[in-house]
Amino acid sequence: MDNLDLDVLKTALAWTEAGRRATLGTVVRTWGSAPRPIGAMMAIRDDGQVIGSVSGGCIEDDLIDQVKTGKLAARLPEAVSYGVAVDHAREFGLPCGGTVQMVLEPITALSDIRGLLADLESHKIVKRTLNLETGVAHRTTATGADVLAFDGATLTTIHGPKYRLLIIGAGQLSKYLATMAIPLDYQVTVCDPRDEYQEQWSDLPQVTMSKEMPDDLVIAMNLDGNSAVVALTHDPKLDDLALMEALKSPAFYIGALGSKSNNEKRRARLLEFDVTADEIKRLHGPVGLDIGAKTPSEIAVSVLAEMTAVKRGVTMTRSKTDVPAKSASSAGCRL
């Protein structure tokens, strides 16, 4: 779940607990060139204060006015659409022909936002079902097949923790990867038991540093489908044991730095442990998309690009080449 969406829910709850009226808006359907994706959220306070966005600024002014004056979702949830016609789209600044449909929900005790946030703090993935006729919301555990759905009477939304990234190794490449992953809404943990790699991370307080053995940390983190693991030390004592545990987990992405030949040797080593052939197929090694990356920062871009593709279900057809010896060396890895 995006960090902004969490902020929207937390802020809406805080407003209501302070005695203010708050309305939650969720994009449920788009057509054409709608500027915000399905599931985007915003909250509107009774005095017009807002957090989040459902259109990138195109229709917010009108929406705020409608909610403030009680014309929309005054007592019960309500569906509303903007941009049905081209003229309407131009009026509200939407791209020509774009349409946004959203559900507006007045936040009450029946919304149970506090319960939803408690589940999210526990790293649960939650299916929330909202009845528009009653305003009652129910929460259940979501499955991998669950998606946002709206049939006109019931809104089903899926909520879960934002993505987690565990980086094995605290070298230069790891720092580039962590720095770039933070604005992509990853909670980043860097694990390296070696003392000599710790000091350079003092300027990244958003990153959680760990000196545990990587395989122990993988187990302790209880990786889920919103988790990724990237091994960058190229030291079998650190990388292989962590990968062995990660490959048994539901993590959506598991990658390891190194040349094609070294990754084949790594796969052979993993087969000697309690790792199946099907589990080893999940390993992305050499890690990252083949974009000709040579520097640590370029390699970090390639890794995050591949992680994004896997996360979004995009099948990449281009095969990766060996990691150039120069780039691996500059990343602080031993081939």
Smallest CA-to-CA distance from 160 within 125, 127, 128 is with 125
**Count of positions (residues) in the chain:** 335
For residue 312, is pLDDT > 50? yes
Res 5 pLDDT > 90: no
Tell me the pairing of strands 283-284 and 99-106: unpaired
Are 39 and 103 in contact, with CB atoms under 8 Å apart?
no
335 occurs within a structural domain:
no
Query: Where does a domain end: 116, 144, 159?
Result: 159
Same domain, 147 and 190: no
Residues 202 and 82 reside in one and the same domain: no
CATH number at residue 184: 3.40.50.720
Residue with tokens 């705020």: 64
- 173 shares a domain with 115: no
- In 3D, which of 157, 66, 148 has the Cα closest to residue 111? 157
Contact indicator for 224, 253 with CB cutoff of 8 Å: no
- Residue 107 clears pLDDT 70, i.e. is over it: yes
The answer to whether the beta carbons of residues 13 and 27 sit under 8 Å apart is no
Same domain, 139 and 197: no
Question: Are 332 and 167 in contact, with CB atoms under 8 Å apart?
Answer: no
Q: Examine the domain organization and report whether 170 and 138 are in the same domain.
A: no
Confidence of residue 6 (pLDDT cuts 50, 70, 90): confident
Residues 178 and 154 in one domain: no
CB 54 within 8 A of CB 100: yes
Query: Would 274 be classed as within a structural domain?
Result: yes
286 assigned to some structural domain: yes
Structural domain count of the chain: 2
pLDDT digits (tens, 9 = 90+) for 76-96: 999 998 874 555 545 555 554
Supply the pTM of this predicted model. 0.59
- Say if residue 180 is exposed, middle or buried (CB neighbours under 10 Å; 0-12, 13-18, 19+): middle
| b/e 80-105 (16+ beta carbons within 10 angstroms → b) | bebbeeeebbeebbbeebbbbbbbbb
Average pLDDT, the chain: 86
- Indicate if 297 and 310 belong to the same structural domain: yes
What are the structure tokens assigned to 305, written together?
């690009």
Together in a domain, 118 and 237: no
Domain that holds residue 309: 164-330
**Residues 98-126: what's their mean pLDDT?**
90
Residue 29 has pLDDT above 80, yes or no: yes
Same domain, 168 and 79: no
Structural contact between residues 214 and 191, judged by C-beta atoms closer than 8 angstroms = yes
In this structure, what are the phi and psi dihedrals at residue 2, rounded to the nearest 5 degrees? Answer: -60, 145
| 272 part of a folded domain | yes
Taking each continuous run of H as one helix and of E as one strand, the counts in the chain are 11, 15
Question: 222-271 pLDDT, tens per residue?
Answer: 898 889 999 999 889 899 999 999 999 999 999 999 999 999 999 999 99
Report whether pLDDT(328) > 80: no
Same domain? For 181 and 268 the reply is yes
Question: Does 192 share its domain with 325?
Answer: yes
Amino acid at 188: V
